[in-house]
Amino acid sequence: MAATWDLDLVGEVAAKILAPECKLKAASMLLGPTCNIQRVNRDLSRTLLRLMNREGISACIKHLVGNEQEQERRGSDSLNSDRPLQESYLYPFILAQKNSKPWSYMTASVISPPIVERSLISIVQRVAEFVKKVATSAPEILDGDQKERTYDTRADAALLRKVASNAIVLLKNNGAILPLKAENIKTLAIIGPSAKQMYCACGGSASLNASYVVTPTDGIVAALPKNVNVVYAEGCQGHKRAPILTDHELTTPKGTPGMKGTFYLKQTDNGQYSEPTDSFLLDNMNSKMHDSDIFFAKEEWYMVLEGRIRPVQEKTEFRLGPSVSGRARLFLDDTLLIDLWSWGPGTAQAR
């Protein structure tokens, strides 16, 4: 949204989508907007905070001060002298506090002297005051049944599409080539590794299950006349690891989008699994799988995922590989393709 530089549009998204969705999910706080120097738009943050607060939702300023890189961020150390800390890294947060008075901030666990009783009382008091504020600002959240809900409307989709469109930054347009005139196109080449990928969210707190996703290729083809010949080439790889398979490419043995998952408690000497204890539909392959009771109740357990790759229209070469923090084997048509069982956690690929 920052790339739109459109404060009215930001306010509309806050009032019509973000705040209502927080209430639907029984959440009194939205984790955002981000305020670090590589992401900051102080006017956007001020507008978003004001509109969210007006709707009774606390917009929590984030990320942590000095959290300026994503690569290996859990293993990095932000060492700053006082001047750049004050003039650069803290400055967006100072502006947010000065102009918007956020109800909440994301904080970090830092090495500090022991908390004395007086400090602890002050901290507890501030927490209690915050709870009281959100309870009185949007009482329907805390007085509700605490169940998460969602909805998907054409109006919301149209507004989000407008935001995405307005955020596009065109650096050059030599010869006024863009926008393309569909009536003059006979053949169109789409080149690039991201053109057929279903990117709709980031990781961590930005993860979500989208109601639907339109890839760039699908969108372009849908916008063109039927008689236009569209050709595609990957061009190059744009990833360190193979992209995650989604329910767009996979189905269960019964044809449901996703993969069938089964937990087993035993494995026989010949490699067969026994004592199935739970089955589920896995529609998101980017999963940590740490919320099942089996992880805490049993010392020995196995998980088997079964899926079929959807048919493709042309001859295609696939690169397949598991990426796991535990041990895994990948089978293709009952043939062992990759063995990460003996070698432990890691990533491997095979064609």
247 has a pLDDT exceeding 80: no
For residue range 22-41, what is the model confidence (pLDDT) as tens digits? 999 999 999 888 887 765 56
Q: Given this model, what pLDDT does residue 28 score? A: 93
Q: 130-154 burial string, b = 16+ CB within 10 Å, else e?
A: eeebbeebbeebeeeeeeeeeeeee
Q: Which of 106, 111, 105, 104 is nearest to 77 (CA)?
A: 111
Q: Given this model, what pLDDT does residue 205 score? A: 67
215 has a pLDDT exceeding 70: yes
Tokens representing 63 are 């990320």
pTM reported for the whole predicted model: 0.71
Q: Given this model, what pLDDT does residue 246 score? A: 76
Q: Given this model, what pLDDT does residue 225 score? A: 93
Q: Given this model, what pLDDT does residue 226 score? A: 92
Q: Sheet with 259-267: list strands edge to edge.
A: 273-282, 259-267, 302-306
39, 40, 45, 47: CA torsion to nearest 10: -110
Calculate the average pLDDT of the chain: 83
Mean pLDDT of 275-285: 83
Tokens representing 295 are 């992880």
Whole-number Å distance between alpha carbons of 306 and 331: 10
**pLDDT confidence bin for 67, thresholds 50/70/90:** confident
Q: Given this model, what pLDDT does residue 203 score? A: 64
Of all residues in the chain, what percent carry a pLDDT higher than 90?
25
343 three-state secondary structure = coil
Q: Given this model, what pLDDT does residue 148 score? A: 85
Q: 99-113 burial string, b = 16+ CB within 10 Å, else e?
A: ebebbbebeeeeeee
CATH of 2-142, one of 3.20.20.300, 3.40.50.300, 2.60.120.650, 2.70.98.50: 3.20.20.300
Tokens representing 317 are 């070469």
Higher pLDDT, 348 or 308: 308
For residue range 283-329, what is the model confidence (pLDDT) as tens digits? 877 676 655 555 556 677 888 999 998 888 878 888 888 877 778 88
252 has a pLDDT exceeding 80: yes
Higher pLDDT, 186 or 2: 186
CA–CA distances in Å: residue 40 to residues 5, 44, 169, 208: 12, 8, 17, 22
Whole-number Å distance between alpha carbons of 59 and 104: 7
Mean pLDDT of 101-117: 73
Q: Which of 52, 48, 60, 49 is nearest to 20 (CA)?
A: 52
Whole-number Å distance between alpha carbons of 49 and 11: 9
Q: Which of 306, 295, 298 is nearest to 329 (CA)?
A: 306
**Range in 107-121, 148-162, 243-257 with the lowest mean pLDDT:** 107-121
Q: Given this model, what pLDDT does residue 217 score? A: 93
Whole-number Å distance between alpha carbons of 196 and 49: 35
First to last CA, the chain: 39
Whole-number Å distance between alpha carbons of 264 and 57: 43
Mean pLDDT of 143-166: 89
Where exactly does CATH 3.20.20.300 map onto the chain? 2-142
